[in-house]
Amino acid sequence: MDPLVSVWFDSSTVMPIEYSIDPGNGRLLTRANGAVTFRDINAHLDLEEHNRDLNRAELIDARNAVAQLTPDEIRLLVGRAADMLRTLELGPTAIVTTDDVVFGMARVYALLAERVGVSAEAFRDVQSAADWLDRF
């Protein structure tokens, strides 16, 4: 995937999260690689917010990522999503991973996010995630 948008910490360091917009369906195609931290995810959300893309459905391919998040940070991300819902509609998010730890974290996020009105789900393969997003 050639990203149309990359997230940058500074002029020399690319963050491990980048995304593009699928021209066929308008969906965000996000790729997470390597160690992904709470700071990385927040910067990614900042960029989506700045680009007015938060309302788009998003498929996050995290098959090459290792999440470095604590349970408290997952709750903070859910809180951020709840805060954003007060001013705009958030698109559904499908997180794809083959790593058991990342899958567990994504499931916890999805369950907590559902309680505040955010549609998110964890998947083991891209096709299942895309099929789920097609329902929205």
Query: In angstroms, rounded to a whole number, what is the distance separating the alpha carbons of residues 117 and 85?
Result: 8
Domains and CATH numbers, the chain: 5-134 (3.30.750.24)
Q: What is the pLDDT of residue 67?
A: 87
Query: What mean pLDDT is predicted for residues 34-41?
Result: 94
Residues of the chain above pLDDT 70, percent: 89
CB 92 within 8 A of CB 66: no
DSSP alpha helices (H): ranges in the chain? 38-50, 71-85, 100-115, 126-134
Q: What is the pLDDT of residue 8?
A: 37
Count CB atoms within 10 A of the CB of residue 19. 25
3-class SS of residue 25? coil
In tens, the pLDDT along 12-34 reads 445 689 999 999 999 999 999 99
Structure tokens at 126: 């891209």
Poorest-pLDDT segment among 6-15, 25-34, 81-90: 6-15
